[in-house]
Amino acid sequence: MQDGVSLRTSVGKVELGLPGMVASGVMDETGASMVRMFGCGAGAVVSKSVGLQPNPGHSNPCLLEVCGGYVNAMGLPNPGIEEFRAEMEQAVPAGPVIGSIYGAGPDDFSELAGRMEDYGATAVELNLSCPHAKGFGMEVGTDPRMVGDIVSAVKSAVDIPVWAKLTPNTHILQDIGRAVQDAGGDAVVAINTLKAMVISPEFARPVLSNGFCGLSGNGIRPVGVRAVYDLRTVLDIPIVGVGGISCWRDAAEYIMAGASAFQIGSAIGTVGIDVFEQVNDGLRSFMEEYGYRDISSMVGAAHE
Amino acid sequence: MSETVVIKRVVDEAYDTKSFFFDLDADVRPGQFLMVWIPGCDEIPMSVSSVDGREKSITVKAIGPATRRLHEFEAGDRLGIRGPFGNGFDLSSGNVLIVGGGVGTAAVMPAVAATGADVIIAARSDRDVILKEVAERHSKNVWIATDDGSMGFHGNAVQLMREKVSQHDYDCVIACGPEVMLYFTYKACEELGLDCQLSLERYMKCGAGVCGCCVMDDQRICRDGPVFRREQIARLSDFGRGRRDACGRFVSFR
């Protein structure tokens, strides 16, 4: 009997029937892929990060299985914002799509956010955190002033909520989070991948073509949970937790650290596409047994 | 994890096609593929063309920069391997007819070895026919079709398949080859009321079902496939129509 338990949650103005979202970069480059994920128990889908121009990304190898997850250096492949219209037209009627965008500065982000709003995105997620794309991602996301400029520019350009996805590859995460909040950002999403490298001893060279890459998966979860916990202590805006969630316990950790919702990426590969249903079922059972009636009653529980 | 393998021997299969043999501990089912890393060049998906205990092979036609570079590799050289990936063929489908077209013949060869089923090998010309002797070691009936009639049946794989299906009692067709061949194989099977399992191909990055760049409609070729049955293919509107490029843009075949 789980009638009393609700998995509904909200990230500010964004209402979600289920608390788990597909993280950006995984099964979200095409409309049909996003529609499929809505049918698998995801409460929302965050799109592939889309830029102004089509981008083929880095050459292969761009992903490698490692102990505790994956490393990847996809290099932000995407069809460009113009062609992405068709994918959004297919996905948006199926459920809430958060449009992930990347750019080199406030103007790029503002233009992209406007297009995502036109396409029917529920919110935009600013990729301020990709660790392997020169001139983008964490290169613009580790300077609180630049982050503030980007967020406030996007806020004046669109009416839909603006989320900022943050990098853990900094010692001033709380300052960056505050910069998002002070600029009017509606939520922060933490964390993106940890900057990493894998070397082949046999070939005496980095394995991935780009050399540097980002580590994701189970291994980074304690880093992500700490980041969300740290951000909760200084922010009033909602937090979305992401990084190494593959079962309900992992999701509960992020929620209790202070996240109102969570995202799953790597586990769609390591566990499978049914990971959302497993997490939802597990969360319901846990909440039933431990007396949590809804997600909001769990948010930040570990702080008290 | 990436594993480093040493090439044990290289076999010339045709003027532009070579097989590379190496030891790899992983269990590989017929129809699965590996991601093969050619350091400093590229990483490409390659079907496993034979499985003999630890020894596996890939059969490579030199068609692009990566495959041409691979053709320079010799016994003793090393490759990086990830995998195996993908679902593979279901070989419990009764009496099967196996069809290989061009270098796609390599992908069905482990299914031939496992079943000893009847085989059609199709190619443009006699000099493009590969793995005929390997197939003959396992199967009683090995039929050749060439577009120019220089060996065996004069015509394409699907024409010969229709002829053999009318003469024998098959439950399922297993096939790999160019998409145009697979498209008409599918159409023929639909018309004949015959089940099929087709091994499909798309541009791939991760190989592991994560990045989503190899999708046809909502199906990941690397993880949900590469082998799809007739009723699944019926739902793939991209099949025979177009593909996604490295940026994820849809590119129409015609």
Peptide bond into A191 cis (omega under 30): yes
**A265 contacts on B by Cβ (under 8 Å):** 210
Of A25-29, A134-138, A188-192, A254-258, the one with minimum mean pLDDT is A134-138
Quick one: B160 and B210 in the same domain?
no
pLDDT the model gives residue A304 = 74
- The CATH code of the domain that includes B15 is 2.40.30.10
Structural domain of B249: 202-254
Quick one: B194 and B206 in the same domain?
no
Q: Annotated catalytic, A130?
A: yes
State yes or no: ipTM above 0.90: yes
Average pLDDT in the A267-285 region? Answer: 97
DSSP A47: P
Quick one: B236 and B249 in the same domain?
yes
Please answer yes or no on whether A25 and B211 come within 8 Å at the CB atom.
yes
Dist. CA A78–CA A83, nearest whole Å = 9
3-state DSSP assignment of residue B35: strand
- Six-digit token string for A238: 């909602």
Quick one: B118 and B184 in the same domain?
yes
Q: Which residue type occupies A53?
A: Q
Quick one: B217 and B162 in the same domain?
no
Q: Does A154 touch chain B (CB under 8 A)?
A: no
**Gyration radius (Cα) of chain B, Å:** 17
Nearest CA of chain B to the CA of A150: how many Å?
25
Please check whether residue A121 is in contact with residue A61, taking contact to mean a CB–CB distance below 8 angstroms: no
DSSP strand pairing (A212-216 vs A44-46): unpaired
- Six-digit token string for A97: 């799509």
Average pLDDT in the B88-92 region? Answer: 95
pLDDT the model gives residue A140 = 85
Quick one: B101 and B193 in the same domain?
yes
Asked whether the predicted pLDDT for residue A24 surpasses 70, the reply is: yes
- The CATH code of the domain that includes A97 is 3.20.20.70
Reported pTM = 0.95
- Six-digit token string for A116: 């995502």
Residue A217: closest C-alpha in chain B: B210
Residue A2 inside a domain? The answer is no
Which residue is catalytic, options A40, A62, A130, A247? A130
Q: Does B249 touch chain A (CB under 8 A)?
A: yes
- Six-digit token string for B153: 């049946």
**Residue A2 pLDDT grade (very low, low, confident, very high; cuts 50, 70, 90):** very low
**Residue B24 pLDDT grade (very low, low, confident, very high; cuts 50, 70, 90):** very high
Q: Which residues of B129-149 are buried (b: 16+ CB within 10 A; e: fewer)?
A: bbbbebbeebbeebbbbbeee
Residue A194 inside a domain? The answer is yes
**B80 contacts on A by Cβ (under 8 Å):** 61, 200, 202-203, 207
H helix or E strand, kind and range, residue A118 = helix A106-118
Task: Supply the DSSP string of A177-233, one letter for each residue.
Answer: HHHHHHTT-SEEEE--PEEEE-EETTTTEESSTTSEEEEESGGGHHHHHHHHHHHHH
Query: Which of the listed residues B34, B57, B85 is the one where a domain comes to its end?
Result: B85
Quick one: B106 and B147 in the same domain?
yes
Please check whether residue A106 is in contact with residue A153, taking contact to mean a CB–CB distance below 8 angstroms: yes
Structural domain of A299: 9-303
**Residue A3 pLDDT grade (very low, low, confident, very high; cuts 50, 70, 90):** low
Tally the domains of chain A. Answer: 1
Rounded to 10 deg, the angle between the A221-234 and A173-182 helix axes is 50
Query: Which of the listed residues B170, B199, B228 is the one where a domain comes to its end?
Result: B199
Residue A4 inside a domain? The answer is no
pLDDT 10s digits, A163-211: 999 999 999 999 999 999 999 999 999 999 999 999 999 999 999 999 9
Quick one: B76 and B94 in the same domain?
no
Residue in B2, B209, B212 closest to A29 by CB: B212
CA angle A87, A88, A89 (to 5 degrees): 90
The residue length of chain B stands at 254
1-60 in chain A: CB under 8 A from chain B: 25-30, 32-33, 35-36, 48, 54-57, 59-60
Asked whether the predicted pLDDT for residue A240 surpasses 80, the reply is: yes
First and final CA of chain B: distance in angstroms? 39
